[in-house]
Amino acid sequence: MRPQIAAANWKMNLTLPQAEALLDALLATSRTTAPHQQVILAMPFPYLPLAISRTAGQSHISIAAQNCHHKPSGAYTGEVSAPMLASLGITHILIGHSERREYFLEDDVLLAAKLDIALEHGLTPVFCCGEPLRVREAGTHDAFVATQLRNSLFHLPPERLAGLLIAYEPIWAIGTGRTATAEQAQEMHAGLRSVIARHAGDTLAATIPILYGGSVKGSNAGELFSKPDVDGGLVGGASLDAVDFGRIVGALKQA
């Protein structure tokens, strides 16, 4: 079975005491996970060392950064590099989240460079893709998301593509309370696998985990995750609630 993953994205939330309290609550409510299940916690830069320390010995929990610069070092005041993150013990990194694309104008070329630097330094990218409402309403969402994959991922050889995760996020469902139906999520995830298969072969397409992101909650996670091509979720708001996020972890496929 492909890895089944509950990934939390705290975004720009929480003070240090709140982050400590949430980590403690998550660990206190931590469920026993199967070998194929994993929890990833993506949080703001200041809290990464804290999270690494608090989750030491928790083999099913990995810590992720939310972003990195596309250069390994240099005169880029205020930025954080992939080598810095790797030196902390970070294992994963979000790349291409819709908020980075929209608010910071990150395009496919820049995201490809970020993928390269992350992989070069041993970080596992969680590559985010997805369409805005206007594209969904126009019925061109399949082509739109396929183009995101081709432009940012397909310069990589198959063995490098195998070292990342994909998160499909319908932008119209992020933080809006709207959620793609389980059927819509399955349709898009299956479509992404077919795009990957045409580029890198059926074996890779069948083994790469694809997560759904977009108003995932404890109340809808089970239905979403039950679909054959949905391998868990990238969770925003609900990841700030330890109990609700615990329910999401518990909804991952068991076998």
pLDDT in tens, 56-113: 989 899 999 999 999 999 999 999 999 999 999 999 999 999 999 999 999 999 999 9
- For the annotated catalytic residues, the residue numbers are 97, 169
Average pLDDT, the chain: 95
Give me the percent of the chain exceeding a pLDDT of 90.
89
Note the pLDDT tens digit of each residue in 119-163.
999 999 999 999 998 999 999 999 999 999 999 999 999 999 999
Tokens of 141: 């969402």
State what percent of residues in the chain have pLDDT above 70. 99
pLDDT, residue 111, reads 98
Q: Where are the alpha helices (DSSP H) in the chain?
A: 16-28, 48-54, 82-88, 98-104, 108-120, 133-138, 141-153, 158-161, 182-200, 202-207, 221-225, 242-250
pLDDT for 29 equals: 77
- Using the structure block, give the residue that is written with the tokens 């990464």: 48
Query: Can you give the pLDDT at residue 176?
Result: 75
For domain 4-250, give the fold: TIM Barrel (3.20.20)
Vertex 108 angle, CA 107 and 112, to 5°: 120
> What are the residue boundaries of the structural domains of the chain, listed by start?
4-250
